[in-house]
Amino acid sequence: MSYFNGEASHWLAASPADDVDPAPLPREKQDLVIVGGGLTGLWSAYYARQAHPDWAITIIEASHIGYGASGRNGGWLSTLLPGNRTKFAEAVDRARKNDPSGPVGSAGLGGVASVSAFRSALFDSIDEVLEVCKAESIDAHQVRGGHIDIAQTEAGLSRLRDLEAGNEQFGYGPEDMQFLDAEATRARINVDGALGSLYFPGTAAIDPALLTRGLGHVLREQGVTICEATSARHLRKNSVATDRGPVRADTIFVCLEGYSDTVGGDLPGLQGRQVIPVFSSMIATEPLSDEAWASIGWEGRECLGDTAHTFIYAQRTADGRIALGGRGAPYAFRSGLPGDGEVPAEVVDLLAGRLSSLFPDLEFEVAHAWRGALGVTRDWCAGIFFDPTQRIGVARGYAGHGVTATHLAAKTLLDRAAGASSPLTALPWNDHFSGQWEPEPIRWLGIRSMYKIFGLADAWESATGAKKTSLLARFGSRLAGLHE
Ligand SMILES: Cc1cc2nc3c(=O)[nH]c(=O)nc-3n(C[C@H](O)[C@H](O)[C@H](O)COP(=O)(O)OP(=O)(O)OC[C@H]3O[C@@H](n4cnc5c(N)ncnc54)[C@H](O)[C@@H]3O)c2cc1C
């Protein structure tokens, strides 16, 4: 099998690239310096410019706009929460007891209501991202086809039923989520052996490179300075030290996600090892024939997920490919980074095999494989932090659900920096402390074991026709800190 491997992503390789622009570092003090040119950084600059047309704003980006997860992801602009809702709800209830006037207690909402408010803010973010694309003429091949999680095993089906019941408790109504039986599922996407699915109409599919590059283009036109090929090294109050010299700033946002460990400083939400890079890998096929599409369906370009513990995520691209991602070789010892995204051959085989198990009657040719780094905290919950003394803000830990959440994070960071008490600053991810990761080699062993256990649990449930989630998978979730 011959395919492109790495080059950051199929999306970046396929979309028209601007030359990398190491613009001169600004000499004058900036109102806002943003470190990291992914979606968190880009949305921060966008809304800062909307609110303050006169501000001097600079983005410092080590490589080029979208080089990180933002240009490599599966393109799910999804309704999914960046974290474990039970953990968020519990933390809110604890915080309200200890400090009722603190940021998350101030909205007067209990844990479950706070998480519902979080969910509804994320839904608003999807609307707003699509509105900005329209207003700024960004064609990111966006389509709001929803997302559909399809079960191919009885145990997976029971997890969908549990998810449905849990979602109802957290405020989902029939307009947000619908259960589809086997026939209705296969009428949407003809997945082999589909037993049923949950359909979430709110999600949209996008091309990540077109979105990030489109935003970068808009920002340059709006006078935001973007210094590509410039690495931040150390941050402190009013100053970002880079490999090209210092930049002075009134306020600094750190938007580095999986790369958070590449900068030094006493940074809120990053003291100790609070975030590590975990890899997710993807393949994109060559375009499928019209006959193949006729047999699959998938006409709504829904984002497609499954119910396996080693889950996959996929989309039908605008040019008729399938882009599909999942885990596999998820972690490099001592939190290594993904570089240009080359994927081990066995992981490509694994993903291609999973695609074939969804549509066994079809032949697929892999055109491109790549991987990128998610930022993952110990409890898999994202957090937003702002230190008013240093005037440094940090958003990180989306754990694979960041395409929508980056938008909300950026707006929240700006509210925090303005000292405003707003509905966004009361959402439960503000100052959410997730704990710290274990030292090596425990961390490496733990993450590797978790994925091995999930793989075994999937094989067990499929081979035995188990009706419920296996004990093994429950143990894996506990080990990972994913348990609800
Ligand atoms: C393969 C994959 C698939 C995914 N699929 C989905 C999905 O379908 N839906 C979803 O919601 N989420 C998904 N995610 C997660 C989502 O892409 C991320 O949560 C989101 O893009 C994070 O954006 P960010 O701007 O915070 O970080 P990033 O996009 O990672 O941006 C960080 C930037 O900082 C730069 N940088 C690094 N070090 C320095 C430094 N020292 N100085 C300056 N700049 C530096 C990097 O080059 C990078 O551009 C996926 C992630 C991956 C890897």
Confidence (pLDDT) at 161: 96
- pLDDT classification of 483: cutoffs 50, 70, 90: low
Among the ranges given (169-183, 274-288, 429-443), the one the predictor scored with the smallest mean pLDDT? 429-443
- pLDDT classification of 180: cutoffs 50, 70, 90: very high
Ligand 1, atom nearest to 78 Cα: 11
The model's pTM is 0.96
Ligand 1 touching residue 372 (CB < 6 A): yes
Paired residues of 480 in beta bridges: none
Ligand 1 touching residue 38 (CB < 6 A): yes
452 occurs within a structural domain: yes
Confidence (pLDDT) at 107: 67
Question: What secondary structure, in 3-state letters, does 383-409 show?
Answer: EEEEECCCCEEEEECCCCCCCCHHHHH
Task: Please tell me the residue having the least CA distance from ligand 1 atom 37.
Answer: 259
Residue 238, φ and ψ in degrees, nearest 5: 65, 5
* Ligand 1 centre distance from Cα of residue 212 (Å): 11
Ligand 1, atom nearest to 231 Cα: 42
Confidence (pLDDT) at 328: 75
* Ligand 1 centre distance from Cα of residue 187 (Å): 34
Confidence (pLDDT) at 102: 66
Ligand 1 touching residue 341 (CB < 6 A): no
Ligand 1 touching residue 253 (CB < 6 A): no
Helix 208-221 to helix 39-51 angle, to the nearest 10 degrees? 30
Into how many domains does the chain fold?
1
Mutate to test the pocket of ligand 1, among 59, 147, 259, 371 (most ligand atoms within 8 A of CB): 259
Confidence (pLDDT) at 456: 80
d(CA 42, CA 267): 20
Mean pLDDT of 282-288: 98
Ligand 1, atom nearest to 399 Cα: 19
For 147, other C-beta atoms within 10 Å of its C-beta total 25
454 occurs within a structural domain: yes
* Ligand 1 centre distance from Cα of residue 376 (Å): 11
Count of positions (residues) in the chain: 484
Structural domain range at position 452: 440-484
Question: Running DSSP on this structure, what letter comes out for residue 274?
Answer: -
473 occurs within a structural domain: yes
Among the ranges given (274-278, 369-373, 441-445, 478-482), the one the predictor scored with the smallest mean pLDDT? 478-482
One DSSP character per residue, 282-311 reads EEEEPPPPHHHHHHHB-TT--EEEE--SS-
pLDDT digits (tens, 9 = 90+) for 319-349: 999 999 997 778 887 788 999 999 999 999 9
The two tokens of residue 440 are 């090596």
- Largest CA-CA distance found in the chain, in angstroms, rounded: 66
Question: Running DSSP on this structure, what letter comes out for residue 439?
Answer: P
Question: In the predicted model, is pLDDT for residue 475 greater than 60?
Answer: yes
Question: In the predicted model, is pLDDT for residue 105 greater than 60?
Answer: no
d(CA 462, CA 205): 29
* Ligand 1 centre distance from Cα of residue 37 (Å): 9
Residue 36 Ramachandran class (φ > 0 left, ψ -120 to 50 alpha, else beta): left
Mean confidence (pLDDT) of the chain: 93
Run of H or E including 280: strand 276-285
Helix, strand, or coil (residue 92)? helix
449 occurs within a structural domain: yes
The two tokens of residue 177 are 């989520």
Mean pLDDT of 356-361: 97
Residue 24: asked if its preceding bond is cis (omega within 30°), the reply is: no
* Ligand 1 centre distance from Cα of residue 206 (Å): 15
- pLDDT classification of 472: cutoffs 50, 70, 90: confident
More confident residue, 110 or 189: 189
Question: In the predicted model, is pLDDT for residue 106 greater than 60?
Answer: no
Mutate to test the pocket of ligand 1, among 47, 61, 404 (most ligand atoms within 8 A of CB): 61
Task: Give yes or no for a contact between 229 and 63, defined as CB atoms under 8 angstroms apart.
Answer: yes
Mean pLDDT of 67-75: 98
247 occurs within a structural domain: no
d(CA 302, CA 314): 9
444 occurs within a structural domain: yes
Confidence (pLDDT) at 104: 63
- pLDDT classification of 440: cutoffs 50, 70, 90: confident
Helix, strand, or coil (residue 237)? coil
| Residue 360 identity (one-letter amino acid) | P
Task: Please tell me the residue having the least CA distance from ligand 1 atom 31.
Answer: 38
263 occurs within a structural domain: no
Question: In the predicted model, is pLDDT for residue 186 greater than 60?
Answer: yes
Ligand 1 touching residue 147 (CB < 6 A): no
| Residue 283 identity (one-letter amino acid) | I
Confidence (pLDDT) at 139: 97
d(CA 303, CA 312): 11
Mean pLDDT of 259-285: 96
Ligand 1 touching residue 260 (CB < 6 A): no
Ligand 1 touching residue 8 (CB < 6 A): no
More confident residue, 91 or 444: 91
Ligand 1 touching residue 73 (CB < 6 A): yes
More confident residue, 125 or 1: 125
478 occurs within a structural domain: yes
Confidence (pLDDT) at 70: 98
Question: Running DSSP on this structure, what letter comes out for residue 342?
Answer: -
pLDDT digits (tens, 9 = 90+) for 225-238: 999 999 999 999 99
Any alpha helices (H) in 418-483, and if so which ranges?
Answer: 442-464, 471-480
* β-strands 232-236, 392-396 pairing: unpaired
Ligand 1 touching residue 393 (CB < 6 A): no
Question: In the predicted model, is pLDDT for residue 399 greater than 80?
Answer: yes
Ligand 1 touching residue 305 (CB < 6 A): no
